[in-house]
Structure 1
Amino acid sequence: MNDIQEATSPSPEGAQPEGRPAPAGGSADTPIRPVIPAAAAKRANASVIGMIIALVLSIAAFLPVVLMNPQPKSDGYRPDVDVASVARNAADVAGFTPVAPDTGNTFRANYARWEAGTANGVPTWEVGYLTPKTSFIALVQTTKANPTWLLQQTKNAPVTGTRNAGGQDWELRDTGKGEKSMILNYRGSTVILSGAAQLDELATLATAVVRSLETNPAVTVSPSAVPTP
């Protein structure tokens, strides 16, 4: 009697007969998908759309600026300075015709100006040149050079010799750190070429300077106007 009762006793609660699927939603392995309220989903979509609109407006505002300012070419931006024209305009103020070396397209001038010299009492004509080897040479010309000013312009570099350029002997000064200067006193003015360029480039520009000096009228300086060292 006991054996019959054990065989026919009901199964434990929740158990399913073998081979019968569990009711839907009753398995622990079924993933639960969160449900986002419609209002929250709408707010999230509105935020994303707002960010996209803001990005588009920013690009639209910035694009005209980029188009109006094109990027420089691969060889870098080099202003077109007409040294001869600026020199002619400075002649009346300078009291002499500043040099305007004709270097063709070999050297490119990136500035040309007349400095009154109010700070040191030495007015100067100044031109900056970019060399074919992408170095830089500064040209300075004055009729009122003095030893102190020369030392300042050449960074206290000692005299290391001379170099002939354009048929004239230029004084050569070298700092020993790459900076070199060539100095010429000729036809009433002093010209200094300074920079980290190689000597051959300095000499090439120096030759063009001599040609310009010989083309221009010689500078006449009265003895009383010569500064005391």
Structure 2
Amino acid sequence: MAEPGQGPIVAELGRPETPQETAARKAKNSREYRERKTVSNLVYALVACVAVVVVIVLAVPRGDQPLHPDIDVPAIAAQAQAGSDGPLAVPDLPDGWSANAAELRRSQTDGITAWYTGYLTPSDEFIGLYQGLDANATWSAELLARTLATGTVQIDGVDWTIYDNRDSTDDLGNARYGLVTEAGSTVFVLVGTATDAEFATLAAAIADTVQAQQ
């Protein structure tokens, strides 16, 4: 046993610890205790934050509205029809398609007005439909990032010029693939990132409108 006034026997030393060793031991124990408390507090804080997030997620009401609202293209086209002598393209598309835009647009460079509708396809890609009123080749070239034609295709009796830029390393925005056809003074441009089959579906859906302009 340690003598009165002496510190406890240190097993490793076989003697009472000195006052300095006692102070060092207590300081070490105090430091280790604070470190354990800090880690515990961090764990408690993390658990509390996760609990709050879960409560918020469960409390927020979720409706049935889609992430991308489906625009009522026929209704908007009916309002915009006054700006066009010919019928505006309002394609009847199968399930899985949705419209995210429909409006008349006026080019800032040449003043050409176009009926524009944007579509999200079943493969979650995009096609923009432009119907240029009294348009020209310069106007359509701008939409296609001034890329070159790569072929032609006939879809439901309408001949389209193909602009396939999918292998290009240039930043062409949405002009990865395009179809262009002229009908009288109207130029139709389909441009976007969708598959060939989806472009063909949209082109077929407006074939009657294109032929009515010829």
TM-score (norm 1): 0.62
For 1:180, the equivalent position in structure 2 comes to 177
SS in 1 for 2:115: strand
> What is the CA deviation profile of residues 28-74 of structure 1, one whole-angstrom value per residue up to 9, with x for unaligned ones?
4495557xxxxxxxxxxxxx9xxx8xx99xx69x959x826x5999x
State the distance in 2 between where 1:97 and 1:143 align. Answer: 11
Match of 2:105 among 109, 115, 139: 115
The equivalent of 2:151 in structure 1 is 161
Q: Specify the alignment match of 1:125 in structure 2.
A: 115
**Residues 54-203 of structure 1 aligned to structure 2 (within 5 Å):** 63=56, 67=60, 77-175=67-165, 176-177=167-168, 179-186=176-183, 189-203=186-200
Aligned length: 172
Aligned residues of 2:147 and 2:163 also touching (Cα < 8 A):
yes
**What's the CA shift for 1:144?**
1.6
CA contact (8 A) 1:108 1:131 kept: yes
Distance 1:219 1:138, change over 3 A: same
Tell me the percent identity: 26
Secondary structure, counterpart of 1:139 in structure 2? strand
Q: Shift in Å at residue 90 of structure 1?
A: 0.9
d(CA) in 1 for partners of 2:4, 2:92: 95
- Cα 1:213–1:151 change in 2 (3 A) is closer
Give the structure 2 partner of residue 209 of structure 1: 206
Gaps of at least 5 residues in structure 1 are 1-20, 35-47, 221-229
Compute the RMSD of aligned alpha carbons: 3.5
1:22 matched to 2:15? no
TM-score (norm 2): 0.65
Q: CA-to-partner distance for each residue in 1:98-149, whole Å, 9 max, x for gaps?
A: 2110103232211111113344211111111111222211110022211211
Structure ID, larger Rg: 1
Secondary structure class of the residue paired with 1:159: coil
Residue pairs, 1:46-61, within 5 angstroms: none
Q: Which runs of 5+ in 2 are unaligned?
A: 8-15, 28-40, 169-174
- Return closer, same or farther for 1:25/1:92 CA change in 2, 3 Å cut-off: farther
